[in-house]
Amino acid sequence: MPIKIPDDLPAFRTLEREGVKVMRETDAIRQDIRPLRIGLLNLMPNKISTEAQVARLIAATPLQVELTLVRITDHVARNATADHMASFYRPWEEVRAERFDGFIITGAPVERLPFERVTYWNELRRILDWTQTHVHRVFAICWAAQAAAQHFHGIPKHDLPAKASGVFAQRNRAPTSPHLQGFSDDFVVPVSRWSETRPEDIPRHRGLEILADSDETGLCLVHDTAHRTLLMFNHIEYDSTTLADEYARDAAADPGAAIPRHYFPDDDPARAPSNRWRSHAHLLIGNWINEIYQTTPFDFAEIGATADPAPAQSAA
């Protein structure tokens, strides 16, 4: 089944041009199918690109998925027009009474700030708590993964001496995990962050399982079973040119900005990079959605009503 998104969302046209099957709202209404409801809390500055990146991966599933775009209630996006946000995004306070099969929280360019200095930190903490009663499965990306680790387990993040940027090899630490079904023993993932979460800070006996990591960039994927959350500390959703766009931006501000590692052919920014992570990105999101489909209640009212497994207490 194709993904169901608003007909006039820019990502709709992008995905159609790529040959991705997208369902018009009028067609979805005619189908007597209970679609999976997935929310996207988009904290990335380039809203439109991130919408397309996430929708592209979700659309690869054979299931019908309804994507709802969500924003922080009182935060004004600086890199998206007010019309775009008003037309396509719903503030979290408006959707908090609703329930979702899955909920994705993106990264944000705030990883150099202490958590408490992020202007929307308090609302994000409320959202994370809300996912434990109104969402069946959560997928947190980059800074959002760090935020969830800190909120639920008190795990700190650590500033890096230089930005970790590039495409880095990851080890498959849990080949029997349903989330890594079909994965190679090693694979590559784009990395773009100024901070890290360290494996030695992960508490034992709290339901945290390391699924993938890297010698060069540390933790990549952790399953927080107690909170039904996948923590992706990198950016497996990135397009082929996203790191190139970020490098161009960084180099314009700082001519000495480091070139993303293992990304451009021969480390030459003038050459087009190859996408070596696309298949694993589709596989990971497909596995996550399959897990949702296999376990989510048919009745929305039952989502979050039973422990699956029991959520742990939030860290102070």
51, 66, 111, 142: which one is catalytic? 142
Instruction: State the pLDDT confidence band at 4, using cuts at 50, 70 and 90.
Output: low
pLDDT digits 0-9 by tens, 25-54: 554 444 446 789 999 999 999 999 999 999
Q: What pLDDT does residue 315 have?
A: 46
134, 235, 280, 291: which one is catalytic? 235
CA dist 4 and 56 (Å) reads 11
CA dist 205 and 203 (Å) reads 7
Instruction: State the pLDDT confidence band at 160, using cuts at 50, 70 and 90.
Output: very high
66, 111, 196, 237: which one is catalytic? 237
Instruction: Note if 235 is an active site residue.
Output: yes
Residue 89 CA from chain centroid, whole number = 17
pLDDT digits 0-9 by tens, 182-200: 999 999 999 999 999 999 9
Residue 146 neighbours by CB distance under 10 Å:
26
Which residues touch 212 (CB under 8 Å, ≥6 apart)? 170, 171, 172, 173, 174, 180, 187, 189, 220, 221
Mean pLDDT over residues 123-128, rounded? 98
Given a cut of 80, whether residue 310 has pLDDT beyond it is no
Instruction: State the pLDDT confidence band at 313, using cuts at 50, 70 and 90.
Output: very low
pLDDT digits 0-9 by tens, 215-231: 999 999 999 999 999 99
Q: What pLDDT does residue 16 have?
A: 65
Q: What pLDDT does residue 17 have?
A: 73
Instruction: State the pLDDT confidence band at 139, using cuts at 50, 70 and 90.
Output: very high
In this prediction the pTM is 0.87
Q: What pLDDT does residue 236 have?
A: 97
Strands 89-91 and 208-214: unpaired
Which range has the worst mean pLDDT, 7-11, 78-82, 145-149, 272-276? Answer: 7-11
